[in-house]
A and B are shown apart, each in its own frame.
Chain A
Amino acid sequence: MSNTLESVLVVGGGHAAIEAALAVSRVGLSCTLVVQDVNTLGRMSCNPAIGGLAKGHIVKEIDALGGIMGRAADECGIQFKTLNKSKGRAVWSPRAQIDKIKYQKFVNSCIVNDPHITIINDEVVDIVVNNNIVSGVSLFKNGLFRCSSVVICAGTFFNGLIHVGTTTHPAGRMGEKPTTGLSKSLQYLGFECGRLKTGTPPRALLSSVDLSKLEISLGDERPDPFSILTKTPFKPENTPCYLTYTNKLVHNHIHKNIHKSAMYSGKISGAGPRYCPSIEDKIVRFADRNRHQVFVEPEWLGSNQLYINGFSTSLPEPTQLEALRNIEAFKNIKLIRPGYAIEYDYFPARQLKSTLESKSISGLYLAGQVNGTSGYEEAAAQGLLAGANAALKLKARKPLLLAREESYIGVLIDDIITKHINEPYRMFTSRAEHRLNLRPDNVYRRLSKKASLCGLLTNNQASLVNKKLKDFEKLTGVLSSSKIKLDGQTINAKNYLKRPENTLVKNKQLASLVDNFDHDTVFQVETEIKYEGYVEIELQRIEKQAKIENTKIPPSTDYKKIEGLSSEAIERLGAVKPETLGQASRVGGVRPSDVVIISVFLEKRA
């Protein structure tokens, strides 16, 4: 079997693979998507939600880069809520409850209807490499397949091993078989491999839960959509979710049976996420807490299945049931599927460049959970970037590189390729040192120009973005010359808006100025004014850092030959091979003085 040489092959069917395939297509190349089971394409394997703290920021950025996740979430969301509302607009995080079935169908149709994408139902078992350049893959059923670029988005499927209590079985996700050949193939090519684990909570039968005993939790009444393509006014469903709490009885029961948990019996070797802990973890590590929140969420509209959010576990099924039944609403609970933990192979991403291409094998890209990250949004962002870069390289165009100071995705990629990751990496706003400028509201101003230059935006997207940018400029201009009367004094509108409680619509003198602008533009302009001074200070910091960020380190650099470097730095830098001095400064174990020495060394060479 063969294909034109100028094509990209994407392995996988999850969020990363989908964004990768669509990005390749948007750049204008044909893409072959190899999925083990076409019926699972676009499936949301864990929680029925998209966005949330810091993740919502990523979804907005994906939208500004022409990705599909935001649009799909708007299309299939059944409840929308902005989190962190009391802590400042830079950390406001949009989140949507999703109808999983609708989401999968929507995403599927986007892939199927894309003329550049061909789906193959098969399994990649080997990568074919000539002189450190990818030349194709071996497919389990179809044999050799020639292509010039491969993007691997295999999620948790590499040697996936599911644990429920003390029983284990190999699987990629519950009910799907794992892949084994490809992981081995990568290791054979010299990739360093590690083991991670993650978990998912049980799914309960709706009719077995007493909803009247749960607190109702609704979304925002007038939410904003994620995507610029979503038509306003945006009037999505506001389906109730539910909230309850664990109690002492639940905790005692889990404590008594903790030895039966896969994670605590020492059966799992991979490290788990500290930030999305299992219920066992919560009870052991926060022993002083009397209760933990449990959100009960519908998996789709009209679903008979509930997602027990906050109760991720690898206890045996009977123990899960007995523990849950101590909660009043769950007295008669029945599980459709127990919670489980899954262990899988990952490939530490320090083996990749900031384009997500392998440092050693040209044309090979890795994206998503295989890089040690956790979460749909993190995976999708990497998929988009890897897919775009694979295609751009084949077209001999400049790569899409995102810097830490311009996007959360830039922070994500820089972190995973420089830092030692020993637990699944998830995004937080605190990981972004330039957080005040990385807001959901200014995402199009930050990223759309780059996206457009790479050809990632459709004409429609580009013109919507342009209108948004123009409106922003116009209203900013109007306000910078506006004055208002306040307590008998005339003050600049801008100064008035800097106070946290003041907004454009609240003030009658200003409200008339914004009549012709949409809600989003008004919000953007207002926010920009409020953060102006603080962002200015951040920009100064960025400038100071710019010199070392822009200093390139030749890949051939032999750190052993740089005199004065600490031995730890020599070892770590030798393993990571950072592309820039900025990256080098963030590699664990590298001291500021080491950075000075390398910089002196590079200057001498120059």
Chain B
Amino acid sequence: MKYNCSDTIAALATTPGNSALSVIRVSGESLSNLFFQLTDKKQPKPNHVYLVELLDPRDSSHMLDQVLVTYFKAPQSYTGEDCIEISCHGGKLIAANILTTLFKSGLREASPGEFSYRAFINGKIDLIQAEAISSIVSSKTEFDLRSGFKGLTGNSSLVLRETQESIRSLLMFVENELDFTEDNTSNFRNSLIENIKRISDKLTFLINSTLAHNKLKEGIRIVLVGKPNSGKSSLFNCLIGENRAIVSDVAGTTRDTLESWHEIEGVSVCFVDTAGVWESDDFLENLGIEKAYDEMLKADLLLILDEHDPFCVFKSVEEHINVENVVFIQTKSDLYDTGQHSGTCYALSVKTQKGVEFVLDAIKKFIVERQHVLPENYFYTTHRQQLILNNVSADFLNLINDFPNMELDMVSSALWNIVDTYSSLFGDNNPENVINNIFSNFCIGK
């Protein structure tokens, strides 16, 4: 997909459909004339909102709607060009009429992401910020929103730029040695490899931190595990607040896994109910058990349930899990009292609701702690950014590995490659197709 930056574009910036208001955005080289045609007002003040009757530019006697309209003068606008924002009445018809009129008078309908593309082209945002805008718009939880804002305000750019700066100065350090100093390289090489390792470690830390962050954004998976008929589905229904899973006294009622998404403490959380794990001859049931094991592997938090001894169940599934975070729950406490009310195991009864709140608190505590262990300055990275960071990190590891066999001029060349790859994070090195791909993931009007 290719964008053309030489004409005036317009698009609906809000979701189409029934709403109180709709916003139409217009961006182009010089819009004061268009503003005059639309509003009959000459020389509008930038950043001022006017209440006007919106006119058809081709026929000023024809009123389209009574609207609030704002004029932004380049470069103080979202796109860096002149912009007009029209807040018209909601509903499908009015906004569509206005847009049709605008297109008839020569404006072009914006492609998805085209406003942000122009903002990027005009130096208003870098690629990281552009991707953050895309992320804010598609945010489902408060956590998404917060990480999006970090990208938008340039916070993540800042951390990524910092690392870019240290790689660049490393390269300059090498270049200086190659071009300006006398032969005396053994000390230099020692301090060089130390610096390379330091940056490589920093990069690994950065990648791990952003991965942890990404994980939170993608959602925390909480998986319920236990033998058949241990009350997993009952607790599942209780936690999600509706009767999703079929509950019966028959062992092996749940054959497939069930998912339910919620927002807890501002983070996406997915509860997963699984088939009870036990030896079965039933083909279908065995398929369900396989799936249960898969879910255990993907889990961030395991709830292990048993009416008698959840620790025993844990031992039998231990080899199938790779998380450290497990909550032990003794179910059906109204029927059985095993005396296991220690700090490591919660006793509850879904029937009487006794003890359920403690399990909920434990889950909330887990989620809050997950957010707290995130280093202060870290942020969500898109798949594209993550790929680039991984490539750079791999290049660093190769460099460290090959260093003893490399002459200084080769080291410099490797660092040049790294700098080159790294700068594609920001769109600094002009890969036209990458840029166009990013912007085409936007919704229209952004």
Contact = CB atoms under 8 A, between A and B. Distances in A.
Contacts of B292: none
Nearest to A604: B4
Interface string A244-284: 00000000000000000000000000000001000000000
Counting chain B CB atoms within 10 Å of each CB, the highest count among A83, A88, A591 belongs to A88
Given A541-B420, A592-B429, A564 B121 contact: yes
Nearest to A563: B6
B259 interface: no
> Interface on chain B toward A: helix, strand, loop, or mixed SS?
helix
B48 to A, nearest CB: 25
B410 A88 contact: yes
Given A500-B406, A537-B417, A585-B430, A596 B121 contact: yes
B100 interface: no
A592 B179 CA distance: 28
Nearest to B427: A592
A59 interface: no
Name the interface size band of chain B. Answer: 35 or more
A53 interface: yes
Counting chain B CB atoms within 10 Å of each CB, the highest count among A435, A538, A564, A600 belongs to A564
Contacts of A604: 4
A86 B183 contact: yes
B409 A563 contact: no
Contacts of A548: 430
Contacts of A429: 178-179, 409
A538 B413 contact: yes
Nearest to B183: A86
A595 B435 CA distance: 13
A88 B178 CA distance: 9
Contacts of B123: 566, 591, 593
Nearest to A561: B6
A600 B414 CA distance: 32
A49 to B, nearest CB: 16
Given A84-B183, A435-B409, A435-B413, A592 B5 contact: no
A23 interface: no
Interface in B161-206: 175, 177-180, 183-185
A84 B184 CA distance: 9
B279 interface: no
A595 B5 contact: no
Contact of A430 (B3, B178, B435): B178
A90 B120 CA distance: 39
B8 to A, nearest CB: 10
B416 interface: yes
A569 to B, nearest CB: 10
A428 interface: yes
A428 B410 CA distance: 16
A596 B417 contact: no
A593 B3 CA distance: 12
Contact of A564 (B122, B178, B184, B407): B122
A596 to B, nearest CB: 5
A83 B185 CA distance: 13
Contacts of A436: 409-410, 413
A499 B409 contact: no
Interface string B379-418: 0000000000000000000000000011111101110110
A141 interface: no
Interface string A81-97: 00111111111000000
A145 interface: no
B5 to A, nearest CB: 4
Nearest to B179: A428
Nearest to A531: B410
A188 B362 CA distance: 85
Contact of A597 (B5, B177, B414): B5
Interface of B: 2-6, 29, 118, 120-123, 175, 177-180, 183-185, 405-410, 412-414, 416-417, 420, 427-430, 432, 435
15 contacts: A53-B179, A54-B179, A87-B177, A87-B183, A87-B408, A88-B407, A90-B409, A429-B178, A537-B417, A548-B430, A562-B6, A592-B429, A592-B430, A595-B430, A596-B435
Report, nearest first, the 5 A-B pairs whose CB atoms are least far apart.
A88-B407, A88-B409, A564-B5, A592-B430, A563-B6
Given A429-B179, A500-B406, 15 more contacts: A53-B179, A54-B179, A86-B184, A86-B185, A87-B178, A87-B408, A89-B407, A429-B178, A430-B412, A433-B416, A500-B405, A534-B410, A541-B420, A562-B6, A564-B121
